[in-house]
Structure 1
């Protein structure tokens, strides 16, 4: 008999970003064997207005499970932390009321964080349905709020540590998307609780094995994703500025975030003709842009809490066979170097990055080496097909050993 799984998430398809994509894939996998119901919001990240466009209406493939959405007010959350926390509060209240009214019973509740308000709703659902709670941790909150230099973030962070501890301790099992989170969570829950490392991953069609590493008339360096406090994009802009005397090398930025408008203005004001900046695109279009690029840029500020993460864009870059260059530390740097997928610097060394980039532009065999290494590593470690049996077994207790995969990274920590 199928178990009933309730998934609670603030972000879900057709929203862009790794959170929505991750939860859609998890729900699709679980729904193949179980009965999944999703409680989420109307599409609103990063801006509600973009989802009125046709290209986003058809960007989701979610089928076969029930999706129940709550509608919220419009908030200018990208630049205003106060409005962002108001949104979290409204989502918390409306999801809580929706679950209170829910007539169906559930065997398992799966909630994802951040924000912390979502697992708080899940604790209520766990109690109401007498269900097991599986917590999916995509980022360490409230610790990650250290990147915001704002008194509201400071107050929220300092007042939320006890909530975080309670949530981790009340969860029956925990999933993380970065191995860098595990030591931190272990301090909160002890050694007995099971923790599954389930990284963000790619579908088979998203891997790109036909890349041609040859000399081209124009050479494109791409950055995709969030443009905010955690990302070092000043280095990307300075790199492009330093290469304006190499007109065959072009730069492209595709994304969203608190710094998007500022970056666009800077590009226009400084007349950086070799940088193209584009507004958010559906995931399918992003994958197409990556396939047409030659080198991918990653930029993370050197802040201790960011040393624990691996941004989803790194996995997308590797799956697209793009050699990676940029600035990163900690777990992200470790994975890129372990995969031999590129060269990243811990400090903002523009001239050093420029030298590597020019070398790669004239030596396609080096790009081939890093690009193919990255793709092979991603196929081995960052595939949703490989995640499938382990996820089912961990969340709902699927004991079909014939389906298990011996994957070195995807494993349960006990």
Structure 2
């Protein structure tokens, strides 16, 4: 069986790795085609991986820029030009960029026997913090690139249930499947060492324009009336200085750790914290964030304000606090240490490699 996986962003490559390994273990010939530009670090990619083919991409410095759109359009054209003379049994395409949808649909017209799977790992422009511009070009054009051609797929995977609510109603709902982000399970190394008579928070990830800094500051002020507040920040971004300043102004002791990629080092910090913060602007449309995955893996309960899958999971599994307007400091400070065990158990059952593989197998049986 010949399989081709197409994706653009190294940010989600752990999902591609899981797919690659799943198919390889079952004897398939797997080709992965991706960009040579690292989206998060904004630099050319230099590493090499088995079965991966890197296509030159136009560099871009800003995530919200015409250069980025041009980069993705050119990348898509070049990727599908590379495979236009090759027929695969299965073409698995991670979306965005949305131009991949159109170009994959064109490929499917030529090779009708190829099974086509679109894997919607993010939604543009819905997840972009540009609420007042989303109904204007070029954003409407970018959305139509996705919506107009989605039905060309034999199956459409979304990485959370929430995304399915925004996809066009013209899509055959039988094609829709949810497969959450997942990771290979490693032995749990967590051991809580929480500070006494203080509340300790953690923010992990990009400190960018989708984090709701005023909401975090308001939360700190509310908690600070009851207990001193520490906040550990792991990551970096264009809003870092503002975030640190506003947390300090709200009364928190800020410990800025910068970027940390080593899992053991991150776990040491998580073990000192009561909660991880998953707080974004209301205009952001996302169901299950990467940072919440990290928190769940570490056994760290979450303070969350995004609706959709994460909200439902926290309510159902009792593994954190969903932040409402009337949420009191007392509700947050009633801390159940057993909650950390529930968080990790949820991760192992729902977001591990075995569950991911089972979901992929179920999807393939329906094709």
TM-score (norm 1): 0.75
Task: Check the 8 A contact 1:232/1:327 in 2, yes or no.
Answer: no
Task: Check the 8 A contact 2:72/2:97 in 1, yes or no.
Answer: yes
Whole-angstrom CA distance in 1 between matches of 2:3 and 2:202: 39
Return the match for 1:75 from 35, 60, 68. Answer: 60
Q: Could you tell me which residue of structure 2 aligns to residue 282 of structure 1? A: 261
Whole-angstrom CA distance in 2 between matches of 1:259 and 1:318: 25
**Residues matched between the structures, number:** 364
Task: Check the 8 A contact 1:254/1:278 in 2, yes or no.
Answer: yes
Partner-residue secondary structure (3-state), 2:117: strand
Q: Could you tell me which residue of structure 2 aligns to residue 11 of structure 1? A: 9
Partner-residue secondary structure (3-state), 1:174: strand
Return the match for 1:394 from 334, 343, 363. Answer: 363
Whole-angstrom CA distance in 1 between matches of 2:120 and 2:159: 7
The alpha-carbon deviation at position 359 of structure 1 amounts to 4.3
Whole-angstrom CA distance in 1 between matches of 2:135 and 2:73: 15
Could you say if the C-alpha distance between residues 215 and 261 of structure 1 is closer, same or farther in structure 2, counting changes exceeding 3 Å?
closer
The alpha-carbon deviation at position 136 of structure 1 amounts to 0.4
Whole-angstrom CA distance in 2 between matches of 1:171 and 1:383: 26
Q: Deviations over 1:51-103 (max 9, x none)?
A: 78xxxx6xxxx96x41111222331124x433332322232233233334xx6
Q: Could you tell me which residue of structure 1 aligns to residue 14 of structure 2? A: 21
The alpha-carbon deviation at position 278 of structure 1 amounts to 4.2
Return the match for 1:42 from 22, 36, 61. Answer: 36
Partner-residue secondary structure (3-state), 1:276: strand
Q: How does 1:186-265 map to 2 (within 5 A)?
A: 187-191=169-173, 193-205=174-186, 208=188, 210-212=190-192, 216=196, 220-240=200-220, 249-257=229-237, 259-260=239-240, 262-263=242-243
Return the match for 1:30 from 1, 20, 23. Answer: 23
Could you say if the C-alpha distance between residues 111 and 316 of structure 1 is closer, same or farther in structure 2, counting changes exceeding 3 Å?
same
| Greater fraction of residues in helix | 1
Whole-angstrom CA distance in 2 between matches of 1:123 and 1:43: 24
Partner-residue secondary structure (3-state), 2:148: helix
Could you say if the C-alpha distance between residues 49 and 182 of structure 1 is closer, same or farther in structure 2, counting changes exceeding 3 Å?
closer
Task: Check the 8 A contact 1:325/1:353 in 2, yes or no.
Answer: no
Q: Could you tell me which residue of structure 1 aligns to residue 116 of structure 2? A: 133
Could you say if the C-alpha distance between residues 260 and 251 of structure 1 is closer, same or farther in structure 2, counting changes exceeding 3 Å?
same
Gaps of 5+ in 2: none
Aligned alpha-carbon RMSD (Å): 3.5
Task: Check the 8 A contact 1:9/1:39 in 2, yes or no.
Answer: yes
TM-score (norm 2): 0.83
